[in-house]
Chains A and B, each alone.
Chain A
Amino acid sequence: MLQMFSVWLHGTTLSWAVAGGVPWIWPLCETLHFMGLALVVGIVGVFDLRMLGMAKGLPIGPLQRLMPWAIFGFTINLVTGFLFFAGDPFQYIHNVAFAFKLIFIGLAGVNAILFYVTGLYRRVDSVGAGHDVPLAAKVVAATSLFLWIGVMYWGRMLPFIGNAF
């Protein structure tokens, strides 16, 4: 299934273009991928670090207004990441580091969803300047930081533990 999809994808014009058919698409996407990474880590980092007790003068509710920038960064990385995959699917589908990277992104997503659906989000939203968040929120924040650093780890290990490039 994945193999068939990859064979099909590899035959598309998009794949040809990304993989050097149109020069500079690949390096441009890499550059954007790093900028997206910085936005996700920076904005999510501000939120997580505050929940962990840093910069306690920040009320948590208004910080949510920065979240669209993290989502913007993540979207950039989803698109550029898909383009890398399209350019050369076979260096990813049998790559253990790539599998772990996707798992960690998925876990970060589950962590965020749990934060919202368990109602923890509402309890944290009203936490004002100088106050601590509940312990459960600190666990979510620490997990989030661990998982996003993990995503960077597996991404960097693509050529070293896996077989990409």
Chain B
Amino acid sequence: MSFLLSVENSAFGTWVRESKSLWAYPTILFLHTVGLGFLVGLNAAIDLRILGFARKVPLAPMESFYKIMWAAFWVNALSGTALLIADATTKLLNPVFYIKMSFVALAVINMVAIRRRVFGRPSLDDIAGFARALAITSLIFWGGAITAGRLMAYFGPVSGAPGLENSIPSR
């Protein structure tokens, strides 16, 4: 706990959490949202195509989007680390955080598996049941990561920028 406190109260952690600058907590949170949009959204587009929507779209060229997906992944790994440092005691003691990380890990493994096992097939457009299964688990894992990420604000200790309740508004 004292280790977590020292992480949280490091110069960087304090700046992210308490600076009045828009470049601190607000911008980092914004980057985390943009990363989510491109990472999950492009994954979902590929999953939907594998599942048979827009069948006339050739699947193979969609592999190019992995560049953007990985860039978005790293934006979120870095912005997420910054947000974690700023709220280390609350987030690392929140069980929902570990559920989110598990979903993200599964989703990323799934994303690599689709690249190797689906895009790696010679006759790509002849999609097997295995590929469809991977597309479905991808959608489930990303959906789980989003859900757990949002619910971190409601289960366990509440964190975030000071003055931000991040909870159900009360009347």
Contacts and interface: CB of A to CB of B under 8 A. Distances in A.
Contact of B56 (A19, A45, A65): A65
A140 interface: no
Interface string B21-62: 010011001100110111011111100110001111110111
Interface in A36-53: 37-43, 45-46, 49
Q: Is the interface of A mostly helix, strand, loop or mixed?
A: helix
B18 interface: no
A55 interface: yes
A142 B76 CA distance: 23
A42 B37 contact: yes
A152 B146 contact: no
A160 B45 contact: no
A27 to B, nearest CB: 5
The list of the 6 closest CB pairs from A to B, nearest first, reads: A42-B41, A57-B61, A41-B37, A65-B54, A62-B56, A38-B40
Give the residue among A37, A56, A88 with the most B Cβ atoms within 10 A. Answer: A37
Given A26-B168, A35-B143, A55-B63, 4 more contacts: A19-B169, A58-B58, A63-B54, A91-B169
A129 interface: yes
B42 A65 contact: no
A46 B45 contact: yes
Interface of B: 22, 25-26, 29-30, 33-34, 36-38, 40-45, 48-49, 53-58, 60-65, 68, 142-143, 146-147, 149-151, 153-154, 161, 164-166, 168-171
A66 B55 CA distance: 10
A159 interface: yes
Nearest to A57: B61
B82 to A, nearest CB: 15
Contacts of A14: none
Q: Is the interface of B mostly helix, strand, loop or mixed?
A: helix
Interface in A59-89: 59, 61-66, 69, 87-88
A42 B26 contact: no
B36 A34 contact: yes
Contact of B43 (A42, A55, A59, A157): A42
A43 B61 contact: no
Nearest to B22: A160
A35 B43 contact: no
Given A35-B143, A39-B44, A57 B60 contact: yes
A59 B57 contact: yes
Given A129-B58, A152-B30, A34 B146 contact: yes
A149 interface: yes
